[in-house]
Every structure is written in structure tokens, then in C-alpha cells.
Amino acid sequence: MSLWKIAWRSIQQRGLASALTALSMALGVLLVVAVLSIHGVVAQSFNSTSLGYNLIIGAKGGKLQLTLNTVYYLSQPVENIPYEYYLEFTEGGERRRALGHSIRAHVHDAQWDAIDTASLLGTDGLGGILVGESLRAAHADELDLERRGKFGQFSEIAVPLCLGDYFGQFRVVGTTPDMLNKLKYGPYGDKAYAFSQGRNFEHWNTEHGYFEAVVGATVAREMNVILGQNISPAHGDPERGGEVHATQFTVVGILKPTGTPNDRAVFINMEGFYLMEDHVKPLPEGEGEGTGFADIPGGFAEAGEEHGHHGHEHGPQEPLPVEQREVTAILLRTVASNPFIGVTLPTTINEGSVAQCVLPIREITNLFSFIVAPIQAALLGITALVCLVSGISILVSIYNSMSDRKHEIAVMRALGAGRGTVMAVILFESILLSVGGGMIGWIGAHSLMCVPAISDRVEQQTGVPIGFTSFAPPIENLELLGLGPLIGSVPPELLLIPALLLLAVSVGFLPAMAAYRTDVAKSLGS
């Protein structure tokens, strides 16, 4: 008969007390595994949200706030940057098209239409027309209408974001269709956004004009949004008195769950965003006057008012002029052909006076390292203490039983068991209670991960799938607990086994010593 079996029989002999002490250890380990799993889910969630772009450009100020705002739609909205700055990240064609809706382009056209008319009247002939075209182009250059975006050659994808509006508790993101068409997400940045219902919003169409919206999976679920529903964003945080816009957007798509903060966002067409009241950037006094642009239907100056009574009988409407637009941030994926751009471009942008450029991965990593990880390390420490207390309860349980078991130990000694043997039996007992209880706790924790109510919710909220075999990833900041980088690279759940063994031997040592010191002759007579 093995010493393990002798130890197990002893545990069985004290069934209730043994079960309770093992249960306390099980609960301790369950808590540890739960904290480790939460850490893993949070870490994976953090790691999988920012892919698809590598830089964020926004107003100068706090880097973290810009990142939180742009990636997680958290924190108070930041300041805006001119729309024309966004155009610096586009190629010439797009910039030219966008500037076609600028005030100065219209001024340019109006002035040259007048000159053309005068020229024709002056009958300068073909030479006069060519000279006129040359002068028109020079004037356009002077008005900065023709060149390519300054950073266009470095941009693979540049997606503007306009923030500040809410739908219920969820952020409304004014952007372009590229946001959901071109950006990818997921741990490897290879997952395209997919729709559970409907499609992506369009820049403009005859049915809804500029006023189409797509909602994230969480928004659809929490706000009971259905396809075709008209929704009205509120200007500013509704909990802080934000007023609901009269403008309505038609929901044309509902995203499948992505596990990213985009599940908790409403995406509306940026052109429609600009046409809502209070979204027009005031022009400096005198600018634009006398150009005749105020007369354009749905024109720039009165855009908000024009659409305040917005129904859905849209005709082609004039978008807001470039000069009256702002963006909150630009999501930028730099060209892959030159990886140094991702390093040098932020420096160039930050040296300018208009905007700042942040590397979201760095900000997220810093946030995780300096805020989230220490909190989780503290939680881990607390749960480790719970295990220690459970271990002490094992010590108390076994030690209290020692006075009753002295006779039993003496009998074993009389049958030929050495001091080391009876000591080993007690240590094995402690190990069985600790490791056995720990295994029950581990199985319990991982079984909870299989419960659909839990696993489905975690996946919906974070995009991280969990199941029975989901192991917590290594904790990079275990140095905070005084553990070295080597241990820090090992999956922490594997560390539970030696930790439990160490704990078991530690707490079993005292009663084992009592067994070791048992006076056989005296105890046999008792």
C-alpha cells in the first residue's frame, strides 16, 4: 500500500473537515484562475483593438486622451483639427475633389468665370484662352487647390473621425465608408468588418442622401436598434445636458460582434455629420462674403438650419465647405513599403503647430503597463493571499487532528514506519488537500468559462472567445510581484502547480514535524 493511499485514507477518515478545507483551497484557486483569466481577456482585448492603423493624428494635447477617445471612445472629447489637415494625408485627386467644395475654390471659379467672360468679349482668340487657362492654374496654385497632400505619399489608409455626438450612452462616430470598408481588426489585423444585417453606409445615395448610419453589435442589442430605423444623435454627452439633433440618420447596417470598442459605437456618414446643426465651424468674419455661395441650395453657411427639419426626401445637396469642417482625429495606416515612416512621420507632425501624432500601440501598452497591469497584479496578490489563508486552514485542520492521531501514528511506528515515513504521510495529506482542492478550483473556474451565459457575454463584450481550455497568457509585469522575467514568461496557470505544492509542503510541515516527534511508547499507551 502506497503512502499516498495511507494519506488518502486519513483524509477520508476526516471526511467533512477534509472536504471543507479542500473547498476553501478550491475557492482560492478558482479566484486566482478567474483573475488570471480576466487579465488574459483584458490583455487580449487591449491587444486586438488598435490594429488596422498604426498612427492617430489629432489636436495637440494629451496623447492618452486622444488614444482613449479615438480607439476606445472613452474620456471627454478632444479638440478638433482642420479638415484641410486631414486632406494633407490624401493623394492629389482626393484632395482636389474635396477642395472643389471649398469656399476659395468657388471664389477662384467665380473670379475666373468673370475673367473668361471678359476675355471672350475681348475676342482674344485661342492664344487668349491658353493664356487665360495658364493664369487660372497659377491662381489655383496660389489658392493651394492643386497640389497633392503633403503626407499623401506616406498614407496607405487615412480615415477621418468626427466625435462629440452620442446615441444614448454610445458614441457617434462621423467618418467615411473607408472606416468599415478598408480598416481591418483582430489580433492579426486581418479581419474585415462584417454585417449581421444590412450594409455599410454610403457617401451619398438617392434614398437617404448623406444620412445613413451603421450601428455596432452592442449598440443594436442594448438600444434595440433595427434596420431601417431612424436615429437622432445628441450633441454632446446626453448625461451632461447634450441636446438631441433634429437630424435623423437611417440605420442601413448592423455590424457583427467584433470584440472591439466599435461594437459600442454608431457610425454615421461624415458628410451628414457636418450637415447637422452646431457642427459648422464658424468662418472668420468677412470670409466667404460676396462669393454668392450662401445661395447654393443646402449651402454651407446655413447647412445645419437647412437640415434641421431633415426628412428623407433628399436631392443632391451641397456638402459643407472644407473651410467649415473639422475632424477630431485621423486614423492613419502608413505605407508598408517604408517601415521607417511610422517612426519619422510622428516626429514631423509633432514638430508642426497644427496637430500631434501618437502611436496608439505605445499608448495602449503604457496604459496597460502602468495602470491596468498593477491593478491586476494587486488583484492577483489578493487572490494569492486567499490561497495562503486556505493553506493555513489546511494547516489548522491537519494540526488540530494531530492530537487525535498521535495514537494512530504511534501504531504505524510500532508496525515499523520510520519517522520520515509518518512525516511523509502527513505531507502527502497536505499535498492531496491543497493540490486536489486546487484542481477542483481550476476545473470549476474553467467550467464556468464554458457556461454560455458567461462565455457568450465575454465574447460579445470583448471579442475574446473563452472556453474550458482557455489558459491565461503570461503576465508580463510579474516583476511587480517580485518575480523575475523568466517566471513572467510562463503561463501563470502552470505556476499554480508548483505554487500549490510549495504551499502544501509549507503548511504541512508543522503537523508533519509533530508526527515526526511523536513519542511512540507514550502514545501507544494513550
Partner 1 sequence: MLQLENLKKSYIEPNGHVLPVLDIPSFQVEAGEQMVLLGQSGCGKSTLLHVIAGISGPDSGSVLLDGHDMGALSEAGRDRYRAAKLGYVFQTFNLLAGFSALENVLLGMTFARRRYNVKRAEQLLDRVGLTERSHHKPAALSVGEQQRVAVARALANQPSLLLADEPTANVDPANQQTVIDLIRESCREENIAMILVTHSMEVADQFDRVDRLEEINTLSTKTASRS
Residues of the shown chain interacting with partner 1 in the complex, contacts defined by CB under 8 A: 1-3, 6, 9-10, 12-13, 407-408, 411-421, 520-521, 524-525
For residues 355 and 362, give the distance between their C-alpha atoms in angstroms, rounded to a whole number. Answer: 18
Residue whose C-alpha cell is 451619398: 204
- Residue 43 CB, nearest approach to partner 1 (Å): 46
Nearer to partner 1, 6 or 372 (CB): 6
Cell of 33: 484562475
- Residue 19 CB, nearest approach to partner 1 (Å): 15
- Residue 6 CB, nearest approach to partner 1 (Å): 7
- Residue 439 CB, nearest approach to partner 1 (Å): 22
Phi and psi at residue 235, to the nearest 5° = -80, 110
- Residue 422 CB, nearest approach to partner 1 (Å): 10
Cell of 414: 510500532
**Would you say 321 and 102 are in contact if contact means Cβ atoms under 8 Å apart?**
yes
For residues 492 and 481, give the distance between their C-alpha atoms in angstroms, rounded to a whole number. Answer: 13
Nearer to partner 1, 315 or 525 (CB): 525
Query: What single-letter amino acid sits at 307?
Result: H
Q: Sign of dihedral through CA atoms 414, 416, 417, 420?
A: positive
Q: 495 CB contacts (<8 Å, ≥6 apart)?
A: 487
Secondary structure string (H, E, C) spanning 407-446: HHHHHHHHCCCCHHHHHHHHHHHHHHHHHHHHHHHHHHHH
Nearer to partner 1, 333 or 413 (CB): 413
Nearer to partner 1, 281 or 407 (CB): 407
- Residue 2 CB, nearest approach to partner 1 (Å): 8
- Residue 425 CB, nearest approach to partner 1 (Å): 10
Nearer to partner 1, 9 or 312 (CB): 9
Strands (E), 216-363: 230-231, 234-235, 243-244, 249-255, 265-269, 326-327, 329-334, 355-358
* Closest by Cα among 304, 300, 292, 301 to 320: 300
Per-position DSSP letters for 385-403, written without gaps between them: HHHHHHHHHHHHHHHHHHH
Nearer to partner 1, 1 or 486 (CB): 1
Nearer to partner 1, 230 or 421 (CB): 421
Q: 465 CB contacts (<8 Å, ≥6 apart)?
A: 455, 459
**Would you say 26 and 451 are in contact if contact means Cβ atoms under 8 Å apart?**
no
- Residue 524 CB, nearest approach to partner 1 (Å): 7
Nearer to partner 1, 231 or 422 (CB): 422
Strands (E), 301-384: 326-327, 329-334, 355-358
- Residue 428 CB, nearest approach to partner 1 (Å): 13
- Residue 13 CB, nearest approach to partner 1 (Å): 4
Cell of 382: 489578493
Cell of 233: 444623435
- Residue 526 CB, nearest approach to partner 1 (Å): 10
Nearer to partner 1, 387 or 433 (CB): 433
DSSP type of residue 291: S
Nearer to partner 1, 101 or 413 (CB): 413
Cell of 349: 507632425
The burial class, CB within 10 Å (0-12 / 13-18 / 19+), for 195 is middle
- Residue 417 CB, nearest approach to partner 1 (Å): 4
Nearer to partner 1, 2 or 337 (CB): 2
Residue whose C-alpha cell is 487591449: 46
Instruction: Give me the torsion for CA of 322, 323, 325, 330, rounded to 10°.
Output: 70
End-to-end CA distance of the chain: 26
- Residue 1 CB, nearest approach to partner 1 (Å): 5
Query: What single-letter amino acid sits at 182?
Result: K
Nearer to partner 1, 122 or 525 (CB): 525
Nearer to partner 1, 212 or 408 (CB): 408
In what helix (H) or strand (E) does residue 148 lie, and over which residues does it extend? none
